[in-house]
Amino acid sequence: MSTDPPDSGTVLNRPAPATDGLITVGADGRVTGATERAAARLRTTRGALVGESLSEYVDGPWPPADWSGETTDRTDGPVRLSVDTADAAPAELVVYAFDDAAVEYVVVVGDAEGGATDRLRTASERYRTIFEHCNDGILILDPVDERIVECNPQACSLLGYAREELLQLRPADVHPHEVDRLEAFVETVLEEGASFTSELSCYTKHGQVVPAEISASVVGDGDSRQVLASIRDISERHEREVELRRQSQAMDAAMDGTAILSPEEQFVYVNRAYARMYGYDDPEDLVGCPWQELYGDEQVNRLEWEALSELREDGSWRGEAVGTRTDGSTFPQELTLSLLEGGGMVLVVRDVSDQKRRERRLRTLSTVSEELLRAETGRDVAAQAVEAVSSVLGFDAACVRSYDESANALDRVATTDAADALLADRPAYDFEATYAGRAFRSGTTVRNTTSATDPYERGETESSLHLPLGEYGTLSVVAPEATFTDHQRRTAEVFAGIVTAALERAAREATLQAKERAVRTQRDELDTLNRVNVLVRDLLEALVEAKSRRTIEETVCADLVASELYQQAWIGSVDEVDETVTPQAAAGERAELVLERGSVDLNAVNGGLVADALDRGTARVHRRYVATGAGVDEVGIESGRLRAVAAVPLLSGDRTHGVLVLSSSRSDVFGDQATAGLEALGNLVGYAIDALHRRNMLMTDTAVELVFEIRGRTFFVHLSDRLGCRCVYQGGTPFAAGQIKHHVRIEGASAADVSRLAAASDEVIDCTVRHDHDDECHVTVVVEQSPPEVLVESGAVLEGIVAEDGVARLTAAAPGTADIRAVVDAIQSRYADAELVAKRDRVDRPPAAFRGDVSELLTPRQREIARTVFEAGYYEWPREHTAEEIASDLDIASSTLHQHLRKAERALLSVFVGEDPDTTTSGGS
């Protein structure tokens, strides 16, 4: 409008000209406020005027007639009214429309001449201009009704509302997040008349928060008091302050040290990181100090010459330096200098000690990797790995464990001294329960930190890393008084990978070398086997010609040493009762020493190797190194070099004739095939010794007769006891599987009773009745390990057995050169209760020799027919079978049978009567 109404609060609270008064009127026409001058003009008091209808004082209609029509525009200008009261002083009422919820009209009470109207118009225009064009947003608030009663355009723009929208809001709608603080601020304004705050911010229509400074004052008085609030947007200033705080905090909290120097090169600002790098607790301790105090003389000279000259020329410099701490220690640093306007400079320092250490460790890691990959064995790799942990990771305690698949366990193969000290007081844990075991099974690194509450109870913190080494085991690193950083863990994992690669390479190399050794060994063993075979063949010829056991033993030892395969060979006789071995012949190195030792405990010879071979009945081999200069503690062992030793039993069937012991410095002479050849040689020597015993027994006229009584539960002893009979051994013939068929005459028992008891006996394999008479029968019986077999194996022969009344009397004969102790041991080993009751020497011709002489006069066919006729009972009375029946079974003519029998009978009689066999005439074919 052309003339705006004045701000009601402003008008009422500002002093009016001496001749003017102001009145505010509400929509209902009643006075809501008045100045003292206005009340005086109307001849009343201010208290009486407020609340009265203005129509009581107006000369004319109220509201003014010009505003009463619907088409009347109240913006056309004020309406002038005269006072209706006769008592009132001459005055003019100038009415202004005021679009406000509380005040609808403003009335100026002036003098009748109208001077007040002009002054009021001027004041109103001035106040409206200020209100509308103020840079700050202005709100007029009604604290009682809690509403916004007026606003200027800046307030609408600031908050994002149209004027009509904003006047519909409550103050709390502008500050929804700070209602309590808003209420407290308004209360302070009402109490003190004015106040200021920067703690309130405004919410815009679109939900944005606007930081603000608000100054407020009270307008009006009494119940009509209102609050005029001026709102200033401080968003930009707030952002600048926040950014400055952020930058300041960032500098203070930065990991890098930051400092600012004055043009005089003194510190004016130092952040905490910079101070701590040099050993200062408080950054202020460095303010005012020159930068040169933080470097040694050499570094100061270098920086002034190199860094500052480049800084002045280029405005910046970056490089490396060495700083000095307050305690005199130094540290490597990365230094950046920037020139400031005015001559000052900014220093940014980064401590690169860790980086330098990492670089050194990486260089060390590279060197260690090369060394590990040159290690020849897995144990070498493990030993180098634990020693390298200190240089690579900086910790002294390390341990490598190797996985033992057969035991499902991790065994320590390499430890540092520090690790030994730590592990010495550790309890033993099962593989499944250890951190190393967990790392091995999972294939991942296990990091553990223990304390006093853990099982070790050391009362201190201790960290450990357990890293898998593929299928080979684990690497454990212990930090007794520290913890592992992530970088150290990663470095340890890289190092473990290198160790694993080295172990894999060593394993491949070991496999290749093993294959090469196997090929060489096979080649050497094949060559050795050929030589052993030739040696055995040559020895066979020599053994056939040997006339004594000593000759056999000496020949074997000498030829074995002469082959250059063995450095020493000796043969010893064995006493199984005393468990001793006595060297009988020796050849090669230190042979005299071997023979001089005499009898030696079986278990003391070559670490029990001889006893083991005799117990197993097979050749046994032992390889060992004997330290140079050590004494000879065992028979057949020479000190000073590798010695492979073999013990070979000398066997003839189940009988042991001694042991052959061979020593060699060659690793190929006792391979599996060569050892099998030596076992064959041992059997050959055993058979040769046994054959020599038999030949001596046949050739000598001197014999030893041995008589044994046997009361054990053998078949014939049991038979004589149960049937009250007498059993007489009458010879034997071969049976299946190398067993002997015994011909026995039984006196005083029937064949049926004998067959019944034989069938019930576990000892009897076969029993056949040959003849059965009234009180006598002849049977052939086969039993397991019969006396003739036992005696033959020990070098003796059976002369007779008679069993009667539960006792068997066994008579045996052995040549004078036989080992009588061995014969007795053989019988007693077969019959536990056998007792030697007689031993006597005699000179006679043994039956075996007689049989041999007869046999030499017969052809094989004649011997076969003679034996068949005898076993068929041809010579029994009465004859069991006739000559014709026997001839028919043999598929020959009866006359041919009689010719063979006559030849056999003549040979028998010629030998018996002592006639020279050469005078006899052989007949038949």
Write the pLDDT tens digit of every residue in 536-555: 777 776 676 777 788 888 88
**pLDDT at residue 844 in the model:** 58
Confidence of residue 563 (pLDDT cuts 50, 70, 90): confident
pTM of the model: 0.35
pLDDT (tens digit per residue) in 414-425: 888 888 777 666
pLDDT higher than 90, residue 727: yes
Find the mean pLDDT for residues 419-435.
Answer: 61
Query: What integer is the mean pLDDT of 1-23?
Result: 47
- Of the CA atoms within 13 Å of residue 794, those in its CB half-sphere come to 26
- pLDDT(911) > 90: no
The yes-or-no verdict on residue 364 having pLDDT over 60 is yes
Cα–Cα distance for residue pair 650/680, rounded to 1 Å:
9
| 41-45, 357-361, 449-453, 648-652: range with lowest mean pLDDT | 449-453
- Give residue 413's pLDDT band: very low, low, confident or very high (50, 70, 90): confident
Give, in degrees to the nearest 5, the angle at Cα 112 between 109 and 116.
50
Q: What is the rounded CA–CA span in Å between residue 101 and residue 81? A: 24
- Statement: residue 725 has pLDDT above 90: yes
For residue 693, pLDDT beyond 50? yes
The average pLDDT across 791-803 equals 81
pLDDT score, position 244 = 58
What is the residue type of 13? N
pLDDT in tens, 207-224: 888 888 888 888 776 667
Higher pLDDT, 856 or 626: 856
- The predicted pLDDT at position 690 comes to 75
Report the pLDDT value the prediction gives residue 429, as an integer from 0 to 100.
43
Q: How far apart are CA 886 and CA 894, in angstroms?
A: 8
pLDDT digits (tens, 9 = 90+) for 165-197: 888 899 988 888 888 888 898 888 888 888 888
pLDDT of 808 > 80? The answer is yes
Got the DSSP string for 86-148? TTSPS-EEEEEE---SS--EEEEEE-TT-HHHHHHHHHHHHHHHHHHH-SSEEEEEETTTTEE
Question: What DSSP character marks residue 53?
Answer: B
Express each pLDDT in 579-604 by its tens digit.
888 898 999 988 888 888 888 888 88
761 vs 99, more confident: 761
Report how far residue 512's alpha carbon sits from residue 504's, in angstroms, rounded to the nearest whole number.
12
Q: pLDDT tens across 321-343, in order?
A: 999 999 999 999 999 999 888 78
Average pLDDT, the chain: 78
- What pLDDT shows up at residue 324? 93
Instruction: Please give the Cα distance from 242 to 465 (Å, whole number).
Output: 46
Strand pairing report for 807-815 and 797-804: antiparallel
